[in-house]
Structure 1
């Protein structure tokens, strides 16, 4: 039987992927050859504690939704960040900003994930925040400075050893790694290429470094085998949410803007990329059309693309998805659901909610409104939860991850 390198060569555009020798200690070479690593067969699991589930549901009683919608706990998932949905079993793969990737399974199909276990424990993950699933069923995990691919993830995930390939070993030089703004996200484009966002590590890009920030503050595009990496969009501060509009194939992304400029400025952003190479304004602009102090005396590029939607300042807009399901009312079809994690440095906190942006026939934003709110206690400023990502489940319901409460919620529509 040919090794996994040959197998992945067929899947990933005919190119054989070989793990660098330095990564041998991470079991990757063995996994690429379909060889057991000796990892304990007893996988780490997360108990779905009834007491904690009851308290989470009590917290959700405070969440406000439009008429006909309801929200419930899908599963307890520690540090839950970005998600990808399996296309066959409906396994929910969940990233974290630590070292765990979780696989959540609804075995009895009651729309609750009763089994939560560690995915691929024989792989040493480092900030595996970003999850994206290709149309042909390959799970991609965007780490701090590496991109991994797991073919047939829903087949192998029951055991500790999984088929894996290193798509990209480094997005940027090892010596340039920074912990700030290091949570990556990814997407598969309609061109069958990989898109990965790389936040820049500063509040404002330092003036003494000059205006060229690449690959920081960009969305990188590459072939499915990791070759041909190029900058697709630039002038971005820190995007932790990307998605393609299935109607016109355009890439949209959220962007977190500059801190320390005041409670109500600059705005957060929801952006639309209409062609490769566009510049979205950082570091000349702190958000929207608000200039940064460090770069205020410099002439900004004439071709800066301003956001489709200006969100509340410091609400921390993160994960997003286009709704294509049949469960929700027609007015939500083709629109964007996006998560606001909530502010950390605003005098009066704002955020911790799910937003909905309608997209018009011309492909542009046609109005934004609050869809789900209530995780922020307005009186005390305490967060009962902080949404990170939103993804459409197989039945058309909406899953919302929460890294503070350590949970995934499911929003469904009953029409009553």
Structure 2
């Protein structure tokens, strides 16, 4: 009897927690207070900052560039720079979104605190802004919007709304610990584009129809109100970075290749999509033109689009952005900066660097080159793992690092 009572109490407590989380979101949607008063504030100086600066002194950059510590941000993943230039929101693969503020505009953050602390986030990896200043957050299985995040983030309560309700972004049965970091962008058509990585190294055949229908193993697009969901991209293993070419509207995205095929294959991918519905070959191809063992005897799609650029194998290409600023030399304008997180399953690790890929006038890609490196030493030890790249309004770029828990700023000139 006592065991039953304990179990009943535990179930009631769990249910109460769930209801409380839902109630907070409902209250925020109705512009009501949640009663939350406390923030988690991250110290920005001290020994940790000095240790990070010592590592940054070893980073190699092209002549004229420099890298500095912008902010200490635990578990820093993808970033969304506010359209008003007030605050940068940084997602994580845990339960926090961080608001990073440089109040005195000295290009070093003065304050880092958690955003919307009354909301229980689950893998809020992917924040992104609309041109109108609406912040979207793509979680493991939900999408939220914050219409005035830049102006209300100073308080613990902020207007928040469901775009895609919990459990409706993907089927609940497909939730996994693997490949659940979503990213989002608002496209030139005003719609929200969200990547949906599939959970396997290579999915079994019985999953393919479901994944094609739901847009898992691809990119979906929806209206900013959550309506009109459609599958925009298929044949993608796990994309954790995409952006639109501002010159012609093409969607570009990184993709992580299949593991277990050797150190030197298959290549990583930087892809260019020029029309809705294009297929990029996975799981028949594991990266580039390298076939997967599981599907090597099956005919790949005849219209499969091959990568615009083949990147180094197992370097883990993640976040990317088109550079539209004017601070950097002409060579970099209109090109792509992307982050390589670094190998986890390669005998000799590679990556942990920022890459640059020029984009030609006809929209095609030039040859990629290393832009910033030095977080991986000759002994294969990581001193940082870049995740995402985002432009600041002054034309410098931010680089996030989830190993160190920091955001760096790369600038050019004095």
* TM-score range relative to shorter protein: over 0.9
Displacement after TM superposition at 1:51 (Å): 1.4
Residue aligning to 2:173: 175
- Measured in 1, the distance between the counterparts of 2:108 and 2:45 equals 13
1:2-151 correspondence to structure 2 within 5 Å: 25-40=22-37, 42-151=38-147
Residue aligning to 2:205: 207
- Measured in 2, the distance between the counterparts of 1:178 and 1:23 equals 24
- Measured in 1, the distance between the counterparts of 2:31 and 2:170 equals 29
Q: Secondary structure at the match of 1:372?
A: strand
1:5-404 correspondence to structure 2 within 5 Å: 25-40=22-37, 42-169=38-165, 170-210=168-208, 213-214=211-212, 215-378=215-378, 380-404=379-403
Residue aligning to 2:11: none
- Measured in 2, the distance between the counterparts of 1:287 and 1:25 equals 41
Displacement after TM superposition at 1:50 (Å): 2.2
Cα deviation, 1:32-77, whole Å, max 9, x if unaligned, reads 111100002x311001132111110110111100000000000100
Is the CA contact (8 Å cut-off) linking 1:39 and 1:161 kept in structure 2?
Answer: yes
Cα deviation, 1:109-157, whole Å, max 9, x if unaligned, reads 1100120001000111000000111000001100001111001101110
Displacement after TM superposition at 1:210 (Å): 4.6
Q: TM-score, normalised by structure 1?
A: 0.93
Residue aligning to 2:406: 407
Displacement after TM superposition at 1:176 (Å): 2.0
Residue aligning to 1:3: none
Q: TM-score, normalised by structure 2?
A: 0.93
- Measured in 2, the distance between the counterparts of 1:407 and 1:225 equals 32
- Measured in 2, the distance between the counterparts of 1:84 and 1:239 equals 17
Displacement after TM superposition at 1:367 (Å): 1.4
Displacement after TM superposition at 1:354 (Å): 0.2
Q: Secondary structure at the match of 1:233?
A: strand
- Measured in 1, the distance between the counterparts of 2:367 and 2:20 equals 47
- Measured in 1, the distance between the counterparts of 2:293 and 2:118 equals 47
Listed as ranges, the gaps of 5+ residues in structure 2 are: 1-17
Displacement after TM superposition at 1:87 (Å): 1.8
- Measured in 2, the distance between the counterparts of 1:68 and 1:134 equals 33
Stretch deviating more after TM superposition (80-89 or 287-296): 80-89
Listed as ranges, the gaps of 5+ residues in structure 1 are: 1-20
- Measured in 2, the distance between the counterparts of 1:251 and 1:69 equals 28
Is the CA contact (8 Å cut-off) linking 1:26 and 1:122 kept in structure 2?
Answer: no
Is the CA contact (8 Å cut-off) linking 2:21 and 2:119 kept in structure 1?
Answer: no
Is the CA contact (8 Å cut-off) linking 1:81 and 1:129 kept in structure 2?
Answer: yes
Runs of 4+ in 1 over 4 A off after TM superposition: 21-24
Q: Secondary structure at the match of 1:401?
A: strand
Is the CA contact (8 Å cut-off) linking 1:130 and 1:186 kept in structure 2?
Answer: yes
- Measured in 2, the distance between the counterparts of 1:284 and 1:104 equals 42
Is the CA contact (8 Å cut-off) linking 1:26 and 1:124 kept in structure 2?
Answer: no
Is the CA contact (8 Å cut-off) linking 1:321 and 1:337 kept in structure 2?
Answer: yes
Cα deviation, 1:355-384, whole Å, max 9, x if unaligned, reads 000000000101110000000012x21100
